[in-house]
Structure 1
Amino acid sequence: MDILALDLGTSSVRGLVLDADAVPRPGALARRRVRLVTGDDGTGTLDGPAYLACLVECLDELAAGGHLRDVDLVATSAQWHSVLPVAPDGTPSGPVLTWLDTRPEPLPGATGPADPEDFHRRTGAWWHRCYWSVRLPWLRERVDRPAGFTGLAEYTLGTLLDDAPMSISLASGTGLLDLRRLDWDPEACELAGVRPEQMLRLAPDGWHGRLNAAYARRWPQLAGARWAPPVGDGAAANVGSGCVDPTRAAVTVGTSAAVRTIQAVPAGSEPPPLPEQLWRYRVDHHHVVTGAAYSSGGNLFAWASRELRLPEGRELEAALDRVTGSVRANPRFGGDRPPGIAPAGSGELRGLSFGTTAVDILAGLMSGLCRLVADDLALLESGVGEPMEVILGGGALTASPWWRGAFLDVLAPRRVCWQRNPEIGATGAALVALGRLAEADEIAGVGRTDEAASHT
């Protein structure tokens, strides 16, 4: 049995085929870049139909290469927080708002939850522009009478499948889900201007979907495959890093960045206390993920490479090894993720002189993110009472040995290791779909901790 793993990211869509132990099959990878529209006003949107077309192209490519013939299960890692207004016929009536969009704000006269602390305890979220409690009212003022709202994963999979309810994991990222009851929170829905019964249907534990007739004809190899509920990308990255219990934290740097840990909390059980500065979402019906996220990550590296005319490859790494650390930076170029409210354009550089180089600026930005992560990791550790082992992962850290070393330095004296697998999100989603989350740190090629990060 093979597994088709889809990664519905912010900068790209990927599809890859893995074996029964969630190890990637050689050459069975298709990838398409997607166009993220950004602006100085905080815009961060995607075109829904164009995004769907990229996903279809990936599946066409894998099918043409003969990679789908043994697929029995389809797993999906998908970005949290996205929202798409839809017309009565289910077609998009506006662009997809991604996690990166900082424009939504409460409408004039709107008030938040009656008890913010209890709201945070129940939902793991805040009344914040990142969540549907603020996003839906804001969108209604800007879209011509939308009939409803959906997420990016629900839109794409809803087009391909005969049925696509919202997974518990992605529902938790809306900020409207009661994490204990695993149902829509009435007060959160009221803030969003919807009744719980108007919200998307939630996938029950054990749900699986199937391709609809049209796409089953297009990809007959997948006609009998089971489609598992999508997993939020951050949760999937933790599983793919082998960080599936409170002794380990995953630090993932892709387009954005985050630090997170997973705990077993079955449905109906009260989750453990939640520090006021951290969010909490669901991995599935049986586990929660707690952490902090940042709008800046690999996009810092991409911006610096584009604008500062940096050297490349070994030359860049050698130059980074020579920096003195004179530049201090606030890396919040894209603004704050919740609970912070700094808008896009909040990045800062300090300590510049006539001797400052482009590489010094890059090092300052990368080190600034390391310090943000270290502060929030200390909050995570406060809940377990001891230092955690840290597993570094994600494409941006794979690309930069210096950045891995910078994390190693700032997180000392903790044990810090590097997960080499570049597809941790897709791999993690596959492990959740297989029901093997608890084994994630033992399965071959997953959660390897035998090589510490280094500067070389």
Structure 2
Amino acid sequence: LDERDAVIRPAMLWNDGRTGPQCVEITQRVGAERLISIAGNPALAGFQAPKVLWLREHEPHHYARVRRVLLPKDFIRLQLTGEYASDASDAAGTLLLDLKRRDWSDEIVQVLEIPREWLPRVYEGPEVTGRLTRAAAEELGLPTGLPVIAGGGDNAAAAIGTGIIRDGVISSSLGTSGVLFAHSDAIRLDPEGRLHTFCHTVPDAYHLMAVTLSAGGAFQWLRNTLRGLLPDLSYDQLVGLAEQTPPGAEGLIFLPYLSGERTPHRDPLASGAFVGLTLRHGLGHMVRAVLEGVVFSLRDGLAIMRELGLNLDEVRAIGGGARSKLWRQLQADILGSPITTMAVEEGPAFGAALLAGVGAGVYPDVRAAVAAGVATRDTVEPNAQRLRHYDELHGVYRELYPALKPTFGALAAAAEE
């Protein structure tokens, strides 16, 4: 934002991969180990800090006008309250937050030469950050002075809406991206940076995330690609074809790296691939391979969580993937865990509402809000025979990325020519 809080340019989204060189620069200037020890994460293209550096390098005329840097929901907050504020969970995704202090890292912002005054004040998720202004209240038809709470990032808010506030229960979200989300009472860092460690919206708690950049996005890509030939093709029709296809898609594997990948590879140049395609394979095989490939990627993240000592008793499914009976069963069979659905499907919005209830005094704390409002619906159990089959197939899946990594780099270079 400029000095009058006007938007300077369109936002660069979380899945924008253009900031690879800036990630290298951040790593060199801060130090790889030091960065993870402070911010909990390596430099990745989706974070805010490399985007600020990209703007400084490539659009200096825009950079010269910057006076404030806000995350999207916090820009909405500014319109509601006139206050510059963020919450610890969302701020942790900027790469500028000191996780232990739950505030901006003086060291990182100084090394990267990002003015501290550009950054908003950081609050805990249920804290009140301001009140609805008269102008905003009149426009929205709401009472002036209504409290506006800090809230959380989408996944952290969803964790409140699904009850991920204790060890042993994790959530699996299959939207555009795929996310495994686990609560932790203490900071747990992956020294290799394969998992994200962020502040939770529960005060003084933390969470770990494994992120697959193209989950539902991969399924959407397949549907959109086919719609050029079959305009009326629906997701339900594609799922129906996958249901008629044997587990493992008769030897066809899909790598879902259509936007690069975060967990476990941290590779913006990784790309998607069908491997094992033969004349016997048809559309149903391709659809099933896409759905299975996404869950194989989630399983990679789950393995790293277990490496770090996290227990797993139950997976709670949210997002578009939770609405698909087939995708729920695939998660149970591939992850080897019961998959539970929630009584309220819109986890992020529900979680934000519960946080607001805490901030408004309806509940004494986040745990009380979750106990009062969150309920599960039904559970899908893994099939032992299919689990054994997917164990073998996942071993093959894991061999493919290392084998294709040089090819991904060569193809990315060729695409730039």
Q: Who is 1:118 aligned against?
A: 34
More strand by share: 1
Q: Which deviates more, 343-352 or 297-306?
A: 343-352
Q: Who is 1:101 aligned against?
A: 16
Q: Who is 1:137 aligned against?
A: 53
**Displacement, 1:409?**
0.6
Q: 1:398-427: CA deviations, max 9, x gaps? A: 1x2111111111011x23222253211111
Amino acid at match of 1:431: L
SS at match of 2:207: strand
**Displacement, 1:282?**
1.4
**Displacement, 1:452?**
2.1
Q: Supply the distance in 2 between the matched residues of 1:218 and 1:373 (Cα, whole angstroms).
A: 43
Amino acid at match of 2:331: F
Aligned residues: 362
Q: Is the 8 A contact 1:242 1:448 kept in 2?
A: no
SS at match of 1:158: helix
Q: Is the 8 A contact 1:249 1:391 kept in 2?
A: yes
Query: Percent identical across equivalent pairs?
Result: 24
SS at match of 1:222: coil
Q: Who is 2:291 aligned against?
A: 366
Question: 2:328 aligned with 1:411, yes or no?
Answer: no
Q: Supply the distance in 2 between the matched residues of 1:420 and 1:351 (Cα, whole angstroms).
A: 39
- Please list every run of 5 or more consecutive structure 1 residues that lacks an aligned counterpart in the other structure: 1-85, 266-270
Alpha carbon RMSD of aligned pairs, Å? 2.7
Q: 288, 291, 299: which is aligned to 2:209?
A: 291
SS at match of 1:181: coil
Runs of 4+ more than 6 Å apart: none
Question: 2:380 aligned with 1:452, yes or no?
Answer: yes
Amino acid at match of 1:231: G
Q: Supply the distance in 1 between the matched residues of 2:123 and 2:30 (Cα, whole angstroms).
A: 29
Q: Who is 2:151 aligned against?
A: 230
Q: Which deviates more, 128-137 or 383-392?
A: 383-392
**Displacement, 1:338?**
6.6
Q: Alpha carbons of 1:390 and 1:440: their partners in 2 closer, same or farther (altered >3 Å)?
A: farther
Q: Supply the distance in 2 between the matched residues of 1:300 and 1:352 (Cα, whole angstroms).
A: 18
Q: 1:77-101: CA deviations, max 9, x gaps? A: xxxxxxxxx2222211111111110
SS at match of 1:209: strand
Q: Alpha carbons of 1:186 and 1:134: their partners in 2 closer, same or farther (altered >3 Å)?
A: same
Q: Who is 2:72 aligned against?
A: 152
Question: 2:163 aligned with 1:248, yes or no?
Answer: no
Amino acid at match of 1:141: E
Q: Which deviates more, 422-431 or 211-220?
A: 211-220
Q: Supply the distance in 2 between the matched residues of 1:290 and 1:332 (Cα, whole angstroms).
A: 21
Q: Is the 8 A contact 1:238 1:244 kept in 2?
A: yes
Q: Who is 2:388 aligned against?
A: none
**Displacement, 1:109?**
6.7
Q: Supply the distance in 1 between the matched residues of 2:220 and 2:343 (Cα, whole angstroms).
A: 21
Question: 2:108 aligned with 1:188, yes or no?
Answer: yes
SS at match of 1:141: helix
More helix by share: 2
Q: Is the 8 A contact 1:296 1:334 kept in 2?
A: yes
Q: Who is 2:262 aligned against?
A: 337
Question: 2:351 aligned with 1:351, yes or no?
Answer: no
Q: Supply the distance in 2 between the matched residues of 1:359 and 1:424 (Cα, whole angstroms).
A: 31
Q: Is the 8 A contact 1:240 1:447 kept in 2?
A: no
Q: Who is 2:244 aligned against?
A: 322
Q: Is the 8 A contact 2:161 2:351 kept in 1?
A: yes
Q: 156, 161, 173: which is aligned to 2:81?
A: 161
**Displacement, 1:339?**
7.2
Task: Name the TM-score, length of structure 1 as normaliser.
Answer: 0.72
**Displacement, 1:260?**
1.1
Amino acid at match of 2:176: T
- Please list every run of 5 or more consecutive structure 2 residues that lacks an aligned counterpart in the other structure: 359-364, 384-417
Q: Who is 1:280 aligned against?
A: 197
Question: 2:89 aligned with 1:173, yes or no?
Answer: no
Taking the TM superposition and a 5 Å limit, the aligned residue runs for 1:49-68 are none
Q: Supply the distance in 2 between the matched residues of 1:418 and 1:254 (Cα, whole angstroms).
A: 15
Q: Which deviates more, 206-215 or 226-235?
A: 206-215
Q: Alpha carbons of 1:385 and 1:223: their partners in 2 closer, same or farther (altered >3 Å)?
A: closer
Amino acid at match of 2:169: R
SS at match of 1:126: coil
**Displacement, 1:453?**
6.4
